[in-house]
Homo-oligomer: A and B are copies of this chain.
């Protein structure tokens, strides 16, 4: 033990100690490797003695792809997103991939970052961000790099997609509110719309229109709790007072709206005005809110995303697929129910 603590041992060192060739070492560490039990035994023994570990960089270089998958997400500290990322990351790891996390808010950041990701010869990429530069996806296409988009528009003809069925969700929202007695609908949306938000709110407005109702639209600066609360507080009181059923584009916004209505404006929910969210984040079920909402099943979402990615990695010629996920209403305390 005089020295030796310095450089990482290589397959060469292991081979020498075990009295075999470097290929044997490689095979011993390759899942389906064609190697005899005895040789494997010798190798693993020598390896653990030396503290040997396969160098994934070298392996990746040789195999022309690392086991890394890019995971791109904005607003990671938001309840829905953090849960998505956790589930995706766990699913990836379970399948033997290593998620490389890119968190960035400004689109141009994201571009250069993803750009640098590509240098790692990643096996694929999952985009949950709201801002996927189109050019970037084109880049991936040129490289033949598998991409899965989560709750995003398919801006190009590249990449599989997993999306909540926002259209049906918006219709569902209108139906829930109307069925529980709302006559004058409202809809709270952020000024800067994302794919999810537009899909939902547009479908909601359209479904209402079909029934001869023209909802009031309220705006929040962005889709945060604070902005939603401020948005409702800034709304025209006369108009707001007419509304008896408010659909919010996300749960986070619904919670902000709820606090504005009840605590800032002193309105009774659900008696005076019903409130309905979308997503079913954890906080929606907290006793102080007990928010009715439309649930997105993000556990199965993560599984589908990773499955699509794996299939695409296995066969790059697949036609682009779109998986639409069903949504289910979760009626809690901010809507009225008869029976």
Contact = CB atoms under 8 A, between A and B. Distances in A.
Contacts of A331: none
Interface in A243-296: 255, 258-260, 262-264, 282-283, 286-289
B79 A79 contact: yes
B86 A8 contact: no
A86 B90 contact: no
A53 B115 CA distance: 9
A260 B120 CA distance: 49
Contacts of A68: 100
A107 interface: no
A56 interface: yes
21 contacts: A8-B121, A8-B143, A51-B139, A53-B118, A54-B119, A57-B61, A58-B61, A61-B61, A76-B89, A77-B82, A77-B86, A77-B282, A78-B82, A79-B79, A82-B82, A86-B103, A90-B103, A98-B100, A255-B286, A288-B288, A288-B289
Interface of A: 5, 8, 51, 53-61, 66, 68, 71, 76-79, 81-83, 85-86, 89-90, 93, 98-104, 113, 115-121, 139, 142-143, 225, 229, 255, 258-260, 262-264, 282-283, 286-289
